[in-house]
Amino acid sequence: MLRRQRQLYAKLQKLIDAALFGGALVLAHWIRSLPSLDPKGEIAHFNEYLWLVAVIVVVTPPALEMQGFYSRPMLHLRQQTLLHLVKAAAWVTVALITALFVRKAEGARGVILLFVPLAVCLVLLKEELVRWWAISRLGRNAVRKRVILLGQPEDTVEVERQLSSGIPGQFQLIARRDLANTSSEGLTELLHETSANAVLIIPRQVMFGAIEQAIQVCELEGVEVWLLADFFQTRLSHTTVDELAGHPVLVFRTGPEASWQALIKSGMDFLGSLVLLCLLLPFLVVLALLVRITSPGPIFFRQQRAGLNGNPFTMLKFRTMVTNAEQLKQELEQLNEMSGPVFKVTNDPRITPLGRWYRKFSIDELPQLINVLQGDMSLVGPRPLPLDEVQRFDDPAHRRRLSVKPGLTCLWQVSGRNEVRDFREWVRLDLEYIDNWSLWLDLKILLRTIPVVFTGAGAK
């Protein structure tokens, strides 16, 4: 199934799932209101719950998408589908409880408790119906594409295998032709004979003249053309088609693409940093005064760090070291405990007594909320490194950690923090974050950061 078709299918699924979740609340209220369960008639009339249905309809699609529910193959494993649904239903329930709290409204706990299993069961039933439809003769006939393959014989074998291993009956390969030896007249005749829905061109050895000729024939016949645009063998990039100044372009991307999740992440960064700075302002003033009183020198430590794609920015921290720390670093190079370009030393003698306490509980990082507010950093992302350490990367692949904004916290900090001694392991965790990024992953990292900070686990 092509991406645009998948997107259309996902939009339809979102509408249906939102309706089913809303219907689950209606059904839960009806069951809870049965005389056998509510003999005294204590449950409020459903009109008082209508606004909650609206909340559910709005919240359900993002909650399911956050779990990757709409990026699954059509014939997904049932147990994984169930897990996604339970997690999404839990988030929708949290949203309902929050909405009730904000409006200071009362809701029957029995209705909310019934809502979760009913919502999960209704969507599971829908999924089973979709599964049955997809593998049934009716479903196969509705989605089946009759495809002609055009390309070098040695190139079409692997593509044919991949198409055949998909949903049974989704593609019917009705003809295979060598692109170099297929004339316009021959392709036209073949289209008439086979009544093909699509022509898949596999231009491993790029023959633009033959490709253009085949496309022009299909244009005249009103038949779709699928140009397999893997001219270049990439290992990590996700390829998408976009448009630039009216021209179609192929986009090769290894980081997260622009999406509603990315927009929400940007909003969370701005609002989260703004709210935290306002709430913590008195505390930050006290912390700054303590730095000034306990050791000579500036309150803040400012350093050029590598931001998005290596773009330099000035990162802020409460100063935790003596003022000549950078000069003393040269004398401590032989004590470095990290492999690679990063410098880490246990019981660093340059750290002040107050600074050691600040570092243990990550208090020195709080001024970076200003960097997040300014847009140079994110709440979650790979930790920013000094420019000189980035310049000493011995593996070009390590620079891919710069493909997203640096963050206040990351997988490295919640997966061992400073106990990680190998820089390659640090980079591996950063790339794991980038390759699997989602809002749900950000939320999990933020939640896991809280106990790590309060206990000072792994701090140096």
> Which of 89, 107, 137 is the C-terminal boundary of a domain?
137
Determine, yes or no, domain membership for 248: no
In a shared domain, residues 204 and 265: no
Determine, yes or no, domain membership for 239: no
Where do we find the tokens 């050895």? 205
In order along its 460 residues, the chain shows pLDDT tens digits of 566 666 777 888 899 999 999 889 888 888 877 777 666 665 666 677 788 888 888 899 988 888 888 877 666 677 888 888 888 888 888 888 888 888 776 666 777 888 889 999 999 999 888 878 766 665 555 566 778 888 877 777 777 777 766 555 567 788 888 877 888 888 888 888 887 878 887 776 556 778 888 888 888 878 878 887 666 666 667 777 777 556 667 777 777 777 788 888 988 999 999 999 999 999 999 999 999 998 888 999 999 999 888 889 999 999 988 887 777 776 676 666 666 677 776 777 788 888 889 888 889 999 999 999 998 999 999 999 988 888 888 777 788 888 889 999 988 888 765 566 677 888 888 888 988 888 888 998 998 888 877 776 655 5
> Which of 137, 169, 192 is the C-terminal boundary of a domain?
137
In a shared domain, residues 101 and 153: no
H-assigned helices in 136-203: 137-143, 153-164, 184-194
Determine, yes or no, domain membership for 161: yes
> What whole-number distance in Å separates Cα of residue 65 and Cα of residue 53?
19
Determine, yes or no, domain membership for 340: yes
Within 13 Å of residue 127, how many CA atoms lie on the same side as its CB? 23
Determine, yes or no, domain membership for 63: yes
Report which of 130, 131, 120 is spatially closest to residue 21, judged by C-alpha positions.
120
In a shared domain, residues 167 and 123: no
Helices and strands of the chain, counted as H and E runs: 16, 10
In a shared domain, residues 131 and 210: no
- Whole-model pTM: value is 0.61
In a shared domain, residues 165 and 118: no
In a shared domain, residues 226 and 272: no
In a shared domain, residues 30 and 153: no
> What whole-number distance in Å separates Cα of residue 145 and Cα of residue 225?
12
In a shared domain, residues 177 and 326: no
In a shared domain, residues 32 and 82: yes
* Cβ atoms < 10 Å from Cβ of 8: 12
* Residue 151 belongs to domain with CATH number: 3.40.50.10700
In a shared domain, residues 186 and 160: yes
Determine, yes or no, domain membership for 244: no
Report which of 419, 411, 420, 417 is spatially closest to residue 445, judged by C-alpha positions.
411
- Domain extent at residue 22: 3-137
DSSP letters spanning 351-400: B-HHHHHHHHTTGGGTTHHHHHHHTS-EEESPPP-BHHHHHT-SSGGGGG
Determine, yes or no, domain membership for 247: no
Could you tell me if 169 and 195 are in contact, meaning their C-beta atoms sit under 8 angstroms apart? no
| Secondary structure class of 199 (helix, strand, coil) | strand
Could you tell me if 350 and 321 are in contact, meaning their C-beta atoms sit under 8 angstroms apart? yes
Structure tokens, 454: 């309060």
Q: What is the pLDDT of residue 261?
A: 82
CB neighbour list of residue 111: distance below 8 Å, 6 or more residues apart: 25, 28, 29, 32, 43, 49
How many structural domains is the chain composed of? 3
Q: What is the pLDDT of residue 139?
A: 56
Percent of the chain past pLDDT 90, that is, above it, reads 17
- Amino acid in the structure at residue 276: L
Q: What is the pLDDT of residue 336?
A: 66
> Which of 137, 167, 195 is the C-terminal boundary of a domain?
137
Q: What is the pLDDT of residue 288?
A: 93
In a shared domain, residues 278 and 398: yes
In a shared domain, residues 424 and 279: yes
Could you tell me if 240 and 251 are in contact, meaning their C-beta atoms sit under 8 angstroms apart? yes
> What whole-number distance in Å separates Cα of residue 134 and Cα of residue 170?
9
Determine, yes or no, domain membership for 449: yes
Q: What is the pLDDT of residue 141?
A: 57
Report which of 395, 374, 366, 379 is spatially closest to residue 311, judged by C-alpha positions.
374
CB neighbour list of residue 213: distance below 8 Å, 6 or more residues apart: 184
